[in-house]
A and B are shown apart, each in its own frame.
Chain A
C-alpha cells in the first residue's frame, strides 16, 4: 500500500476520539445499520468526524438488523430520528444470500436488493448514505462470469450500477463508494480473512480510516463543508523544472515518455475539476510575465490563463499571496486546497493558515496524481450545470474590483454597473441551484437552513404557508446567476417570518440587500401583511450578518433573542441602483 501521510491510521483515530473534548463541536445524529461487526468502524467514524470539527451522536443498530430496524416503525432506529442514516450491507452477506438462492433466482439478486432499498428509502427520514459493494470474485465461472447474468460477479456489478441509477433519481440518497476504495488499495489490504473469521468484521483495520474518510467526506459536505478552490504552485508542480531558469523549451511537459506526461495528466485532471466548478488559482514565486509564459505559449499546456480565476506570481511570501487570493474569492480557508512540491513552503502555509488543506505530495511527481486521487479532496453532494461558469464569475469579479478604483463616489460606481435583477419564485429549472445555494452558503446566511431539492419543491408548492423568492444579478461585466434566496413563512394574517435569507458573497456592497428588502416589503404591502420578522442564528461562519437586520431598519424583538421586527409601514426605501427585470 502506498504511504499516505494525510490519512491517519486507525490507532491515531482512536487516540483522537479518546483525547478530545467534543462538547463544543457541532453534533450530528447519525445511525449506522450494518449486517457485519461495525464497532471499530464506529470508532473510526467518530475519530474522523472530530478531525473535521464534528461530533457524531451515533446510533449503532444491533448486529444484522438492517431490515427489521427499517421496516418496523416502532424500532429504536426510528425512535432515534437520525439526520443521516448509513446503510452498510456487506458483499460477504450478499454472497452467502446468493449461494442460498435457488439457481434460477440468482439472476434477480441485484434487482431484489435495489427494490428493497428503494422501499426502505421511503421509510427513512433524512439523508441516507449507502455503502456500495466491493467486488468478491468468487471464481466460480472465471472471467466467463462476465457473460453469465446469474454469476455473482455479474450481479454485484449490476447492483452497484443500479445503485447509481437509484441515487441519480433520489436526492436524499448518497452512495459511499466502498468499491472504489477497494479498487484503490486492493482487496488483500481492504479485507483480512483471519480478522473476518474471528470477528465478523469485513473491513480490515488498515482500510477503516479510508472508509471513515469517504463517509465523512459526504457527511461534511452535507453540512456545507467542502472544497471550492484549488491553489497551485507552478514550478515542479504543474510542470517539471523551473520556468525562470529552464525557459519555455526547457520545462518538462507533454505526452510521450518521461516525466512531462505526469504533469500533463495532472493538468488534465485539474481542468476537469475546473469544469466541475472548482475555482483554480495560481500562487507562485516568479515574475508574473515569466510565470504566465507557459500558459500563453507552451503547446502542451492543458491549463490556459482563462482557466485561472486568480493568478498571483511575485516574490512575496506564499502565505500573504494566499491571503490575497482568499480576499478576492471571499471564501473560507477551510474550503481551499494548496498544492506545492516544496515541503518547506507547504509547512509554512500549514503553520500560518491552519484551516487550509495542504496535501503532503509525494517526492516523485509521477506519483502526484494517484496520491491526490486517494485523498478524495473534492467530494460534493450537489452538482448543477452552471457550476462550470464559476471561474468566469470570479474573473469578472477581479475586473470589477479593478474598476471600482476609478470611481471616488460609491453611488456613481454602482450606477455605472447597470445592474438588473430578475425576481422569481422557485421554478423547477432552478431547483438544483437553489438547493445548492442553501447548502453552500455559510457567510451571508441568516439562519443556515439547508434544503434539498425535494424540500425546495415542497416549499414552492405550499403556497398556503410559504412564499419563495429567488434573485439573479446581472451587470455590464457579466451575469452572476442566481445570488439570493428568500423563503417567507406566513405565520399569521399579519406576520411574515423570514425563514431563509441567504446571499452569495460575490455580490456584497452592491445594494442587493436593500433591493431584496424592498421586494419583500412590496409583497407584504400587496398581500396585507403588517410586520416582517427576521432571525439571526449565529454559526462560526456567519458573523458578517450579525447586524444585518438592524442595518436594514429592523428593531430587536423583546424577549426573543436574535429576532428582529419591521413594521411594513415604517419601512423607508433606500436608494438602490438595481433595476428589476420585467
Chain B
C-alpha cells in the first residue's frame, strides 16, 4: 500500500473515532493540532487503527511517535 493511501485510511479512522469530519492529517500533524485528540482518545485511535490494518503496535512504538508521519511509517513497515 502506498504511503499516501495509508494516510488517507488513517485519516478516515480518526474522523470516525473522533466524530469529526473536518480532520485533515498530514505527516507533521501532532495531538496538539487536533482538538479531540487527547491521551484518552489516543488509546481508542490506536486500537481502531490496529483493527483497521489488522496489525498490532508495540508499546514502545505507541510511546515514541512524535507525529502522524511516524505512525504511518510503523504501519508501512508492518503491512509490507
Mark A residues whose CB is within 8 Å of B: 10-11, 14-15, 18, 39-40, 192-195, 197-199, 201, 204-206
Determine if B62 and A205 form an interchain contact, defined as CB atoms under 8 angstroms apart.
Answer: no
| Residue in contact with B43 in the complex, picked from A11, A14, A15, A199, CB distance below 8 Å | A199
| Residue in contact with A195 in the complex, picked from B19, B47, B48, B58, CB distance below 8 Å | B47
Q: How far is the CB of A63 from chain B (nearest CB, A)?
A: 13
Excluding A40-B44, A194-B57, 14 further A-B contacts by CB distance (< 8 Å) are A10-B44, A11-B44, A14-B19, A18-B19, A192-B47, A193-B59, A194-B59, A194-B62, A195-B43, A195-B46, A199-B39, A201-B43, A205-B43, A205-B44
Q: How far is the CB of A103 from chain B (nearest CB, A)?
A: 30
B23 contacts A by Cβ under 8 Å: no
Q: How far is the CB of A235 from chain B (nearest CB, A)?
A: 38
Contacts of B46 in A (CB 8 A): 194-195
| Residue in contact with A40 in the complex, picked from B19, B43, B48, CB distance below 8 Å | B43
Contacts of A206 in B (CB 8 A): 47
Q: How far is the CB of B31 from chain A (nearest CB, A)?
A: 13
Mark B residues whose CB is within 8 Å of A: 16-17, 19, 39-40, 43-44, 46-48, 56-59, 62-63
| Residue in contact with A198 in the complex, picked from B17, B44, B56, B63, CB distance below 8 Å | B63
Most B C-beta atoms less than 10 A away, residue of A40, A194, A204, A206: A194
Contacts of A195 in B (CB 8 A): 43, 46-47
- The residue in chain B whose Cβ has the minimal distance to the Cβ of A197 is B59
Determine if B40 and A198 form an interchain contact, defined as CB atoms under 8 angstroms apart.
Answer: no
Total CB contacts across the A-B interface at under 8 A:
37
In the complex, A201→B44 CA distance in Å? 12
Contacts of A11 in B (CB 8 A): 16-17, 44, 48
Report whether over half of chain B's contact residues are helix, strand or loop; otherwise say mixed. Answer: helix
6 closest A-B pairs (Cβ-Cβ)? A197-B59, A194-B59, A205-B47, A198-B62, A39-B40, A199-B43
Q: How far is the CB of B53 from chain A (nearest CB, A)?
A: 15
Determine if B47 and A198 form an interchain contact, defined as CB atoms under 8 angstroms apart.
Answer: no
- The residue in chain B whose Cβ has the minimal distance to the Cβ of A40 is B40
In the complex, A195→B58 CA distance in Å? 10
- The residue in chain B whose Cβ has the minimal distance to the Cβ of A199 is B43
Q: How far is the CB of B57 from chain A (nearest CB, A)?
A: 6
- The residue in chain B whose Cβ has the minimal distance to the Cβ of A196 is B59
- The residue in chain A whose Cβ has the minimal distance to the Cβ of B63 is A198
In the complex, A197→B43 CA distance in Å? 11
Q: How far is the CB of A58 from chain B (nearest CB, A)?
A: 15
Q: How far is the CB of A108 from chain B (nearest CB, A)?
A: 34
Determine if B56 and A194 form an interchain contact, defined as CB atoms under 8 angstroms apart.
Answer: yes
Contacts of A18 in B (CB 8 A): 19
Can you list 15 pairs linking A and B with CB atoms under 8 Å apart? A10-B44, A11-B16, A14-B19, A15-B19, A18-B19, A39-B40, A40-B43, A192-B47, A194-B46, A194-B57, A194-B59, A201-B43, A204-B47, A205-B44, A205-B47
Most A C-beta atoms less than 10 A away, residue of B19, B43, B57, B59: B43
Contacts of A15 in B (CB 8 A): 19
In the complex, A197→B19 CA distance in Å? 26
- The residue in chain A whose Cβ has the minimal distance to the Cβ of B62 is A198
Contacts of B40 in A (CB 8 A): 39-40
Contacts of B59 in A (CB 8 A): 193-194, 197-198
- The residue in chain A whose Cβ has the minimal distance to the Cβ of B57 is A194
Determine if B19 and A198 form an interchain contact, defined as CB atoms under 8 angstroms apart.
Answer: no
In the complex, A201→B16 CA distance in Å? 22
In the complex, A198→B62 CA distance in Å? 7
In the complex, A199→B62 CA distance in Å? 11
Contacts of B43 in A (CB 8 A): 40, 195, 198-199, 201, 205
Contacts of B63 in A (CB 8 A): 197-198
Q: How far is the CB of A16 from chain B (nearest CB, A)?
A: 11
In the complex, A205→B44 CA distance in Å? 7
In the complex, A204→B46 CA distance in Å? 12
